Amino acid sequence: MSKSTPYQSRQSDAHGKIAWSDEENQIWDELCHRQLNLLQGRACQEYLDGLELLHLCKGGIPQLPQINKTLRACTGWETAEVPALINFTAFFTLLANKQFPVATFIRNRAEFDYLQEPDIFHEVFGHCPLLTNPAFAHFTHTYGKLGLAANKEDRVYLARLYWFTVEFGLVSTSQGTRIYGGGILSSPGETLYALESDTPLRKPMNPIDALRTPYRIDIMQPLYYILDDFGDLFTLAEADIMALVAEAKQKGLFEPLFAPKEKQAG
């Protein structure tokens, strides 16, 4: 979270609205159209239900006050405008207060398919629909409270649990395996890769294992964990997660399933 970014977040007016440009609205519409075509039969029903409630693909980038109105009515959550990058303390503080951080910029066409920074498409399209769901909202709130109280080392372990659930989680359903992780739902390449490629491993969700699994943010994931049922997020939120962190620390990390990231010269 400390690295620099070429993007600069837009500022809202006194009414919480942002004057997006025609080009920015067009990029949103194209991203929405592409993902909607891919997600049918691949996204979990809880996500699709939230997508319908929020009306995110009705033309142009949605304004956060309207999203907040729906989220508050469903689960008591709302969004919070943030810069392109925030630190862990700011992140956990927002989640602990039922505020989901949304960086108010959208990717440019040079990074249309993928960017490492979480932009408004990733945050709003990828995550906000599931914040209408009580189990997902409760898990995210609990995670925020735990992260805010945790020390630096424990936060790194907690980040792995978030990564393999909220960002890159899969769930078993009566119709087959479906996606609920926002990092997949907002990425066309990973949407297909996560479900249909023979390359990655897919394992049943075991929180201890997830806490012990290294990851990289700049590659297709080599491993996905699958919940038995979406309601397991609520069960996990009610578990003693910090005791699981302590057990994971005692057992140590698994060997990474990826090569080390190459250092850039200079």
**Looking at residue 149, what is its pLDDT?**
98
2-48, pLDDT tens digit by residue?
456 789 899 999 999 999 999 999 999 999 999 999 999 999 999 99
List, for residues 164-188, the tens digit of each pLDDT value: 999 999 999 999 999 999 999 999 9
Residue 266 in this model has a pLDDT that exceeds 70:
no
**pLDDT for 208:** 98
Q: Is 167 annotated as a binding residue?
A: yes
- pLDDT for the residue 29: 97
pLDDT tens for each residue of 132-167:
999 999 999 999 999 999 999 999 999 999 999 999
Q: What is the pLDDT of residue 117?
A: 87
135 is a domain residue: yes
Residue 4 falls within a domain, yes or no?
Answer: no
Is residue 1 scored above 50 in pLDDT? no
Q: What pLDDT sits at residue 262?
A: 77
Question: Does residue 227 lie within any of the structural domains?
Answer: yes
The verdict on residue 260 lying in a domain is no
Does residue 81 lie within any of the structural domains?
Answer: yes
- Total domains, the chain: 1
Query: Which CATH number fits the domain that encloses residue 230?
Result: 1.10.800.10
Asked if residue 138 belongs to a known ligand binding site, the reply is no
* Residue pair 227/171 in contact by the 8 Å Cβ criterion: yes
In a domain, 3, yes or no: no
Within a domain: residue 266?
no
Residue 113's pLDDT is what? 86
Structural domain containing residue 245: 22-251
Position 263 in a domain: no
Residue 33 marked in a binding site: no
What 189-192 contacts at long range (C-beta under 8 Å, 24+ apart), as own/partner pairs, is 189/113, 189/114, 189/220, 190/220, 190/221, 191/35, 191/38, 191/39, 191/42, 192/38
d(C-alpha 159, C-alpha 177), whole Å: 24
Please give the Cα distance from 40 to 136 (Å, whole number).
20
- Confidence label for 229 from pLDDT (cuts 50, 70 and 90): very high
pLDDT digits (tens, 9 = 90+) for 77-100: 999 999 878 999 999 999 999 999
Q: Percent of the chain, pLDDT > 90?
A: 91
pLDDT-derived band at 265, boundaries 50, 70, 90:
low
Percentage of the chain exceeding pLDDT 70: 97
